Structure 1
Amino acid sequence: MQISSPTTPRQTQSGILDKLTNLGFGEYPLADEMQWERHHLFMQEVGPRMAATLVAAVIVGLLFVNSASTATLAIWFGMNLFVGLNSWLILGRYHNHQKGHRPDPSIPKQRRAILRWHLANLYLSLLWGFQWATLPLLFLGDASIVQIFSILLLVTITSTMPSISMGLYPDIYVAFLTPVLTAFGWHLWSMDLEDVWLHKAMAPAVWLSLVGFSYAMFKTQIHALATRLELQHSKREIELANQAKTRFLAAASHDIRQPLQAASLYWSAIPDSAVANAQHPMFERLGASLKATNELLNHLLDVSRLDAGVATCQPAAIDLVELLGELRVVFSPLAERKGLLLEIDQPPDIYVWCDRAMTLQIFKNLLANAIQYTTTGAVCISIKNHSTHLQISVDDTGIGIPKSHQQAIFEEFVQLHNPGRQHTKGLGLGLAIVRRLCQLQQLPLMLESEPGHGSCFHITLPQCKAPTLPQAPYTPAAEARLAGLKVLVVDDHEDIVEALSMLLVSWDCDVWVAQGLSSLKQQLAQPACVPEVVLTDDMLGDDGQAEDVIQVVNRILESIPRIVIMTGNTLPQRMQQLQSLGLPMLHKPVQGEELKALLLQPEHTPAATHTETAI
């Protein structure tokens, strides 16, 4: 058998003893790990096996307690005590020595330690073997047929019991088996049964068959060990590759978001009056392009946040009529432009228990997907009331999905009908996000589809009672509230600082800027710089992180301002760290409307909830 391994092949083990005990597997690239695994598995069985053998030996003594002499019984039980004490001392020393410690066979010293324990078990096996070998000499001379058959049954059980050692250390098994069967074979050979001779060949035949079986088990278990370890290595390789991919995407996303952030802010800061009428269409197309790019990046961010576990579900009683109305407003123009009919059921006043932002995103993704892949006909949202829950279906007359591909479409970057990866058709993340959001809320998701007959996605939502207090939608105060708002911007990218400053000044805010911790300390040292809001980047290059900014602000200012973190980072570990801060967080590239909405949030409103649940 050849084993390919990501690890460097080890040097061939040398020494006759190594080759005898390893039976050739020391040549394998994973031999060191296999050595530890078989040693560990074997040692797990040693204690119970020795205890069972000791019990069998005591049963033998009890069988002859009335027929054997006191001296014979004393010798037998004395040998049991001696062998049992040896086993207990060696195993106790092993467990104390190995407690919380895994030997590494790639280190010569530890490899020798495993070999020493192997020899210790070989010694114990010989002790037990020679003890049982004395049994015919002590008891079988004047034994009855019942006693002889009882002894043979115990010997059979004891000889075939050590399953692990038979497969992992056949030499240890043979060391036990040989003296036992030699003694019984000699006893059977000396028995005169006239013309019957088969009993004389029984012991060597049993020895040969058990030794052959032991070697066959050895080959099988070594192959199984090698396969399992190779699979573990492959799994680790895949995990490492996935982590590397995540780091690469996070780094690339961060670097892309920085200039896009500046471009979005510059665009938001340009007033309509500054654009000539002839340039308005181009100006609007520029804004649409920036928005589309931002949405693509946000889809990548959504997947990262869901996989990182930082998107928390906050269910509440949601007005289904209001939710469907919002979908109708958003998607009716899109359907009309493609000449499609958008039909959305108008249910009576009914409430469902779910996270509003996540559920809205689920249906937005499903509707966008349905409209994209439907050229003629209609896209419908229908509702079936099942008393305790609702089944909401998004149905289309599009191209449909073959049954063989119906699981694949929920994977990332899968687009069955976009092999050329046209950017206008998205990234293939919409349904992957739908599946994750349904799993997070524990909402059943089903798909029915046939090629040429459209697709139908079913989402089941639990019904609930209307809230005691009506949930009034959030309405920002007049933009005049931003006039005079004192804002401190902390970012190490000059373009972002300039663009963000221009945007805030266009809203009549008072703005201070800092491009690092030293600059931040200088600004806060000015008596006039008492910000109400601090907008800080997450990563300030070599000058610290958001946590350092928070520490400086808390140390210098008496009145702690509202701190908002802006980040282009998508690493799951970093997002979890930022989430634990409990502060509002915006993901670059931040749109002007998004920033304005956050600044207009009342201070008692947990803005972090607003930004973090909007998947």
Structure 2
Amino acid sequence: MLSTWLKRLLLHPRRKLSAADVLDERIRHESISTAIGASGVMLIALFVSLIFPKDAPQAHYISAWLLLQLVVGVFWLGFIAQHAKHRTPRTRRWWPYLSTIVCSFYGFMWGAGWVLFVGNTDSTHVQLAVMFSIILCGVFTGGVFATIFHLPSLLSFTLCSFMPPLISSFINSGIFYFWFGASSVIYMIATTAFALNLHTFLMDTLEQREEKALLAQQLAEEKQRVEQVSYDKTRFLAAASHDLRQPLQALHFFQQSLEVLIKQGNVTEQQRILGNMEASITALNGLLNAMLDISRLDAGTLPIQRQIFPLNALFRRLYQQYEPIAAEAGLTLRYVDTSLHIESDPTQLERILRNLVENAIKHMGKPGCILLGGRRCEQHLRIEVWDNGVGIPLQEQESIFREFYQLHNPERKRSRGVGLGLAIIKRIAAALEHDIGLQSRPGKGCVFSVTVPIAVQQTSSIIMPSQNKSTSPPRGKVLVIEDDRDVLESLHTLLHLWGYTVVTTFEPDPAAIIAVHPDIAFIISDYQLGAGVNGVKVIHQLRQAAKKTIPALLITGNTSSLLIELLEKSSIPVSYKPISPKELKKFIGSHN
């Protein structure tokens, strides 16, 4: 029977939580039970010492036996009180060991006490022997239940309390010793088996309760997270709606103004209005591109090209671009030269630093200085952008990395940005596995940082794309596939003005198109063409019909994460609406 319970206990497969998960709760229960047990044992020991016959041969040992129990008991109660008052990792770590030692001590003191004080079983002292045996059984039963939550304490107390009497009973002869030894074995096995079964039950109950508490906590955290996501989504949509409506409203007014000016023939004012319309379109395009970047980053489709390159070249390029802008705003931009090479994606890292410098210029709030530099941290370099502007309050430092969140811009003026820059760079940094940091105090300025690995080999292998690549105006036949007639017409007009021969269709028949126009040099196709047809499929069919790979560009206004991930895996370049005409012209020219 005992072996069955031991197997169940030692080979118990149902526990899902580690001992550490339930240790605090187990210690709480054990501290209560062992405190009661230690107090009870000391009182019983005191009672035994008072009633013990003074003429017994072992009477002179009773005081030392009692004193040892009182000392250890007071120590254990003091440790329990200290742990309850000042719970520290140290007391938590020492608890199982001290509990086992104290329980072993108490078990041994009572077991050895029986051997010491029940040595004479003649008619004069037989009542004392029986009384002490009954008390020992009671102490043993109480100790078993006091240590029920900690298996090592339970087993050590059981062995230490009964092994000395059992050994003494089997060594000595006499009916009393035989009776006590046999009954003790039966009692110890039965009580221990019951205790092991109860221990398993209590630990299962405790773990189930802790699992439920953990699950409830996880559900509460998940509920809070979902509520925060819902709030962020609502705030995102509200801010995006506002910021999208502003340039659209301006375009609507400019359009009406332009119609009047065309009738009046005022060319100068027409050019000014066109310039304003282009600025509104640029702002609208910038916002949509930023929202697309967030969608692509969330979908995990940002292309990463890690290279080893000199950081100083990046600092110099940023300085040359932003120093005039900073000077115009009454600010000083400086950088600290460095000879270190780092390992990162130069394009994406420059994008992060560019955004941080732009933010410092926009939000400085007073004349001051912006400094770029690097601080070495073992095998990493912490690139820092310092400013001595107005600073950011501590309670806002986490929020500023959320979409559309802006400090000191409740009117949402477009001149101060739209609040997507830091949200984007946080996602870029995560994709690059770089840490983003912020230190700031109101009135003292900010220090934004990004931590990058230092290259092991300090050699440059960077290949930067040319920023001024020129293409001569190409001539050729372009096929435009678009199911929106307004977009189709506008593309036809624009491509025609650029000198292309344009073929348009909104219900493509690839074989028929290639049969009539075998000399198509470029394809522009929308992705969603209706009736279950998509641009990727149509472009592949056109290439199969032409028996050659015709350069193509896929355009779409759908920025869902799933579609972005799908299109990024295709071999066809993708551009998301709205598309800059200049970028479109450059792209077509680079493929002809």
Flag whether TM exceeds 0.5 (same fold). Answer: yes
Partner of 2:8: 52
Partner of 2:21: none
Q: Aligned match of 1:145 in 173, 184, 196?
A: 184
Partner of 1:357: 347
Q: 1:541, 1:244 → 2: CA distance?
A: 29
Q: 2:224, 2:309 → 1: CA distance?
A: 42
Q: 1:455, 1:307 → 2: CA distance?
A: 27
C-alpha displacement at 1:307, in angstroms?
Answer: 0.9
Whether the 8 Å CA contact 1:415–1:428 is kept in 2: the answer is yes
What aligned pairs does 1:51-450 form with structure 2 within 5 A after superposition? 52=8, 143-163=182-202, 166=205, 224=213, 227=216, 231=220, 234=223, 276-345=267-336, 347=337, 351-384=341-374, 386=376, 389-450=380-441
| Residues 542, 508 of structure 1: alpha-carbon distance in 2 compared, 3 angstrom cutoff | same
| Local SS of the residue matching 2:418 | coil
| Local SS of the residue matching 1:161 | helix
Partner of 1:534: 523
Whether the 8 Å CA contact 2:478–2:522 is kept in 1: the answer is yes
| Residues 470, 153 of structure 1: alpha-carbon distance in 2 compared, 3 angstrom cutoff | closer
For each residue in 1:175-199, what CA deviation from the matched residue of structure 2 results, as whole angstroms up to 9, or x when unmatched?
Answer: xxxxxxxxxxxxxxxxxxxxxxxxx
Q: 1:165, 1:401 → 2: CA distance?
A: 50
The answer to whether residue 562 in structure 2 is matched with residue 573 in structure 1 is yes
For each residue in 1:573-608, what CA deviation from the matched residue of structure 2 results, as whole angstroms up to 9, or x when unmatched?
Answer: 1111111113211121111222233234368xxxxx
| Residues 351, 583 of structure 1: alpha-carbon distance in 2 compared, 3 angstrom cutoff | farther
C-alpha displacement at 1:228, in angstroms?
Answer: 5.9
Report the more deviating stretch, 373-382 or 402-411: 373-382
| Residues 277, 350 of structure 1: alpha-carbon distance in 2 compared, 3 angstrom cutoff | farther
TM (norm. structure 2) is: 0.59
For each residue in 1:463-502, what CA deviation from the matched residue of structure 2 results, as whole angstroms up to 9, or x when unmatched?
Answer: 443336875736534323x2x2332111111222222222
Q: Aligned match of 1:513 in 467, 485, 504?
A: 504
For each residue in 1:389-441, what CA deviation from the matched residue of structure 2 results, as whole angstroms up to 9, or x when unmatched?
Answer: 54432122221011222122112222122233334433321111121212221
Whether the 8 Å CA contact 2:332–2:368 is kept in 1: the answer is yes
C-alpha displacement at 1:314, in angstroms?
Answer: 0.9
Q: 1:600, 1:294 → 2: CA distance?
A: 22
| Local SS of the residue matching 2:403 | coil
* 4+ runs deviating over 6 angstroms: 53-56, 242-249
Counterpart AA for 1:380: I
Q: Aligned match of 2:582 in 593, 600, 613?
A: 593
TM (norm. structure 1) is: 0.57
Whether the 8 Å CA contact 1:517–1:544 is kept in 2: the answer is no
Whether the 8 Å CA contact 1:49–1:162 is kept in 2: the answer is no
Partner of 2:493: 502
C-alpha displacement at 1:143, in angstroms?
Answer: 4.3
Q: 1:162, 1:327 → 2: CA distance?
A: 68
| Local SS of the residue matching 1:511 | strand
| Residues 400, 243 of structure 1: alpha-carbon distance in 2 compared, 3 angstrom cutoff | closer
Based on CA coordinates, which of the two structures has the bigger radius of gyration? Answer: 2
Structure 1: tracts of 5 or more residues without a match: 1-47, 57-139, 168-216, 267-273, 604-615
C-alpha displacement at 1:561, in angstroms?
Answer: 0.7
Q: 1:243, 1:371 → 2: CA distance?
A: 27
Q: 1:222, 1:467 → 2: CA distance?
A: 54
Count of residue pairs the alignment pairs up? 404
Q: 2:304, 2:11 → 1: CA distance?
A: 58
Whether the 8 Å CA contact 1:485–1:509 is kept in 2: the answer is yes
| Local SS of the residue matching 1:532 | strand
C-alpha displacement at 1:550, in angstroms?
Answer: 2.8
Counterpart AA for 1:52: R
RMSD of Structure 2 on Structure 1 (CA): 4.2
Whether the 8 Å CA contact 2:523–2:550 is kept in 1: the answer is yes
| Residues 321, 152 of structure 1: alpha-carbon distance in 2 compared, 3 angstrom cutoff | closer
Q: 1:142, 1:365 → 2: CA distance?
A: 85
| Residues 235, 517 of structure 1: alpha-carbon distance in 2 compared, 3 angstrom cutoff | farther
Whether the 8 Å CA contact 2:360–2:370 is kept in 1: the answer is no
| Residues 352, 486 of structure 1: alpha-carbon distance in 2 compared, 3 angstrom cutoff | farther
Whether the 8 Å CA contact 2:536–2:572 is kept in 1: the answer is no
Whether the 8 Å CA contact 1:338–1:375 is kept in 2: the answer is no
Whether the 8 Å CA contact 1:380–1:394 is kept in 2: the answer is yes
For each residue in 1:46-105, what CA deviation from the matched residue of structure 2 results, as whole angstroms up to 9, or x when unmatched?
Answer: xx989617999xxxxxxxxxxxxxxxxxxxxxxxxxxxxxxxxxxxxxxxxxxxxxxxxx
Q: 2:232, 2:558 → 1: CA distance?
A: 15
Q: 2:217, 2:204 → 1: CA distance?
A: 19
Partner of 2:513: 523
Q: Which has the higher contact order (CA 8 A, sep 6+)?
A: 1
